[in-house]
């Protein structure tokens, strides 16, 4: 069983929901990413999605675009991100880490070189925004052989036929994008999300994480009611943007954001 499956199964057994933060690796600086990861674990998160900065983040809104620019300015390459994962793993053997990003940096590194380095670093999952399952034939066996969970997106526009195909190609969890749009937009409609997530649960046994538009304890709880986990991104990245120089203050603010979400999610536990 993969680390991701293990964590999600344990939570399920406790009737709890996964809190999954997203931050861009290397933002505000590559030297602080690992300690921010530990801070978030202390604030009660279950899985960490670590963004790999890309020069052309087509699916992201301005907040994460700027985070990519900051990270790239400090030379945050995919290799360096994997080194961060390895460093994190040295002191935290329990929290799964998923890389989320775009295909080209992986392609430039080479699929097999990447898969080897990812496994060596103790990475758990890979979510590549612009790699649909149709194009994943080359990477899938490489990931499977090393126990890396491929995580794919499902969108409001995804047909039932595609949901089944996506689930077939995924392990760990599937990521439901709560609305049509880029990260950081305020377009979430909780009722519609609930309907679609319930439907996805009918089509696959995989846990469903929901991301995009979750900004506070209230939206986290509303979405957590129907999903197996919530992914929180832009609001954290925005907090990083506002506290680039005072890292201690940044850690306090991240903690202050995540704590109420944790509590709100746990208050759903039956």
Partner 1 sequence: MSVKLTEEMLTALPDARGHFGAFGGRFVSETLMDSLVTLEREYLRLKKDPEFQATFDKDLADYVGRPSPLYFAERLTRETGGAQIWLKREDLNHTGAHKINNTIGQALLASFLGKKRIIAETGAGQHGVATATVCARLGLECHVFMGAEDVQRQSLNVYRMKLLGAQVHAVTSGSRTLKDAMNDAMRDWVTYVDETFYIIGTVAGPHPYPLLVRDFQSVIGRETRRQALEKAGKLPDALVACVGGGSNAIGMFYPFLTDESVQLYGVEAGGLGIETGQHAAPLCAGRPGVLHGNRTYLMEDDNGQIASTHSISAGLDYPGVGPEHSWLKDIGRANYVSVTDDEALEAFRMLTLVEGIMPALETAHAVAYAVKLAATMEKDQMVVINISGRGDKDIHTVAQLDGIEL
Q: Which stretch binds partner 1 (CB under 8 A): 42-50, 118-126, 175-183, 214-222?
A: 175-183
- In contact, 231 and 22? CB cutoff 8 Å: yes
Selected catalytic residue, list 60, 124, 149, 228: 60
Residues 54-93 that bind partner 1 (CB under 8 A): 54-62, 65, 72, 77-79
- Specify whether 161 is catalytic: no
- Specify whether 138 is catalytic: no
User: Least CB distance from residue 21 to partner 1, whole Å?
Assistant: 20
- Preceding amide of 28 cis, omega within 30: yes
Alpha helices in the chain (DSSP H): 3-14, 33-42, 62-73, 78-91, 103-109, 111-121, 139-145, 160-169, 190-203, 217-224, 234-242, 247-266
Residues 185-214 that bind partner 1 (CB under 8 A): 185, 187
Of 46 and 149, which CB lies nearer to partner 1 in the complex structure? Answer: 149
Torsion of CA 137, 142, 148, 153, to 10 degrees: -20
- Contacts of 91 by beta carbon, 8 Å cutoff, 6+ apart: 38
Of 43 and 84, which CB lies nearer to partner 1 in the complex structure? Answer: 84
Question: Is 24 a residue that touches partner 1 (CB under 8 A)?
Answer: no
Enzyme catalytic residues: 49, 60
Binding site for partner 1 (CB under 8 A): 54-62, 65, 72, 77-79, 102-109, 129-132, 134-135, 152-159, 162, 166, 177, 180-182, 185, 187
């Amino acid at each position: 069983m993969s680390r991701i499956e293990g964590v999600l199964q344990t939570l399920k057994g406790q009737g709890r929901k996964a809190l999954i933060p997203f931050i861009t690796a290397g933002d505000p600086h590559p030297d602080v990413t690992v300690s921010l990861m530990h801070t978030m674990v202390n604030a009660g998160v279950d899985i960490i999605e670590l963004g790999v900065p890309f020069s052309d983040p087509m699916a992201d809104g301005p907040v994460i675009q700027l985070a990519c620019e900051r990270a790239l300015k400090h030379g945050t390459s995919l290799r360096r991100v994997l080194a961060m994962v390895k460093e994190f793993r040295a002191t935290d053997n329990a929290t799964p880490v998923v890389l989320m990003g775009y295909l080209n940096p992986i392609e430039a590194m080479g699929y097999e070189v990447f898969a080897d380095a990812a496994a060596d670093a103790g990475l758990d999952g890979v979510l590549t925004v612009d790699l649909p399952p149709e194009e994943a034939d080359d990477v899938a066996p490489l990931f499977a052989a090393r126990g890396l969970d491929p995580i794919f997106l499902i969108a409001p526009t995804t047909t039932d036929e595609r949901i089944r195909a996506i689930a077939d190609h995924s392990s760990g969890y599937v990521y439901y994008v709560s609305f049509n749009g880029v990260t950081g937009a305020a377009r979430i409609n909780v009722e519609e999300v609930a309907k679609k997530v319930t439907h996805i649960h009918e089509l696959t046994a995989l846990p469903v994480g929901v991301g995009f538009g979750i900004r506070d304890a209230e939206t986290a709880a509303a979405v957590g009611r129907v999903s197996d986990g919530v992914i929180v991104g832009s609001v954290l990245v925005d907090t990083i943007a506002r506290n680039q120089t005072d890292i201690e203050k940044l850690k306090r603010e991240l903690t202050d954001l995540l704590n109420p979400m944790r509590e709100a999610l746990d208050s759903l536990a039956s």
